[in-house]
Chain A
Amino acid sequence: MNSAVKVYNVKKYFKKTGKLIEALKGVSFEIKRGEIYGLLGPNGSGKSTLIRLMSTLLYPDCGRIEIFSHDVFEDENIVKRMINRVSVEASFFMKLSAIENLRYACGIYGLPFGKSKEHISNMLEQVGIPKNRFNDPLENFSRGMQQKVAISRAFLTAPVLMLLDEPTTGLDPKAKREVQSMVKDIVREHDATVLLTTHDMEEAEKLCDRISIIHHGKIVAEGTPENLKERYSAQTLEDVFLEAIGVKFEEADEDE
């Protein structure tokens, strides 16, 4: 089985203040097993909607998504065991400690407490959380540290597909670099496939094997970073974006 993810003609509409908004207008793409696939687009382009569809949190209005040959909506429970996610917000019980949050995260995936205790400590150490902070409430952690705990939460359940939804947005440059290198290391170590959404061109180029550019709910270009630059005779991915869309990246933001 070479394909990890197949997305066929997925459409999603939302009603907002009486207006019908087309968040995704027939998106199709494929991710190969073991690949880090980047979805690059401005705010409101449909990246998070796609991630939420793959996370089983949304139903599509049209189309089909397969994860390791399982339909996300028909085989929801099988798919749920295969995936995990890191989102732009760390999304924890902030008053609880890293240990308490991760113990809950392991538990709801059916992992026994005895076994998970050691597993959690090892994972936290691996992402660089000092042992003396394990029992501190997460509200006392920096954004970068919270995001590292979020990454360890996602990998604790040994997912074969990792959905990274803007995991470095809002981090300072040092924390961003640390999280990026951690993602690369852990992904290789766990032999996972990754879908990374980002609006950071540098990050996409650094981490991704292949990239799609999404705009107004449509994929407008796809290829390896080198391939895309060559195709659009561009120096950077920002230039690729300008050529493919006709607008500068920073001017392309839409309302979510």
Chain B
Amino acid sequence: MNKGDILKEFYAGLAVVIRNFDLVKRYWKWEIVFFAYTIANTVTMGFVGKSMGGGNRTILYMIIGATMWSYLSVLFEVLAETVAWERWEGTIEYTFMSPMKRITHLLGTCGFAIVYGMLRTFLLFIIVAPLFGINLGSMNVSATLMVLAIASISFTGFGMMGAVLPLISPEKGVQVVHIFQAFILMISGVYYSVNVMPKWMETLSYFSPATYALEAMRKTVLNGEGIWSIMDKLAPMALMGMLFLPLGLFIFKWGERFSKRKGFLKRNG
């Protein structure tokens, strides 16, 4: 690829990011509704933590689970529903017949999901924290940001794999994405430690990047641990990112070829 081609791909990726923010702006009423739903969920989890006793630490344990899950869900959903959304809007054929490379398309979607997810999570925390008088005095900020960055990469690959489902199954794909998401929620220790699960489920949890992200986040926020002491969580997460990103792209491209053979690459209706 020469410099001109790289620039073209850059503009294409940026166009995807800007289009998604344009859509957020135009669907602002729905954004408020979904954000209110996330706040209610997070606050509920905070009260569950409070009712369990243990004070600030238990409340924070639950709120970290809720906010981190909300962030990872945004990443996963934005990516996984990118095809379903365009199919519903009717623009899918135009996006897929454009010369933009598929990796640019997907990375543009990821870029939007990360920025949007971070802003949303930050706002969520600002709203929820005062309600419980949360004390973040012991948080290690740089290590927390590192966890977020690596978790984003590994979850992005996961999302790409999920995105193939609506591509190859226009009718049921989105529902299967939600089942997959619920399964990750169950095994990743979002609201409980993974060692309370049966052994076989605990083994499954090691294949989810969310498990490492949550454990690492709790260590940096609750105990103030630094990057080196959470390396046992960061390393597998980074490894999963390196594996899942190319694998996600490969699976998505396979799904695209399958759809082109079967005639699935078209709008609804």
Contact = CB atoms under 8 A, between A and B. Distances in A.
Interface of A: 14-15, 49, 52, 55-59, 77, 80-81, 83, 85, 87, 89-96, 100, 103-113, 137, 153
Interface string B70-93: 000000000000000000011101
Contact of B23 (A15, A55, A96): A96
Contacts of A80: 97-99
Given A59-B261, A87-B93, A108 B266 contact: no
A109 B100 contact: yes
B243 interface: no
B19 interface: yes
Interface of B: 7-9, 11-12, 14-16, 18-19, 22-23, 26-27, 89-91, 93-101, 105, 257, 260-263, 265-267
Given A107-B11, A107-B14, A92 B91 contact: yes
Contacts of B99: 77, 80-81, 108-110
A3 B93 CA distance: 26
Nearest to B96: A57
Contact of B97 (A57, A95, A107, A111): A57
A95 B26 contact: yes
A107 B15 contact: yes
Contacts of A100: 19, 22
What is the predominant secondary structure among interface residues of chain B facing chain A? helix
A103 B20 CA distance: 12
Nearest to A56: B97
B46 to A, nearest CB: 34
Given A91-B91, A104-B18, A111 B11 contact: yes
Nearest to A107: B15
Give the 4 A-B CB pairs with smallest separation, nearest first.
Answer: A107-B15, A110-B8, A95-B26, A80-B99
A96 B91 CA distance: 12
B261 A108 contact: no
A90 B267 CA distance: 12
B26 A137 contact: yes
A80 B8 CA distance: 14
Nearest to A153: B94
A59 B265 CA distance: 11
A190 B14 CA distance: 28
Given A80-B98, A110-B8, 11 more contacts: A57-B96, A58-B265, A92-B90, A95-B27, A100-B19, A107-B15, A107-B19, A108-B98, A109-B98, A110-B99, A153-B94
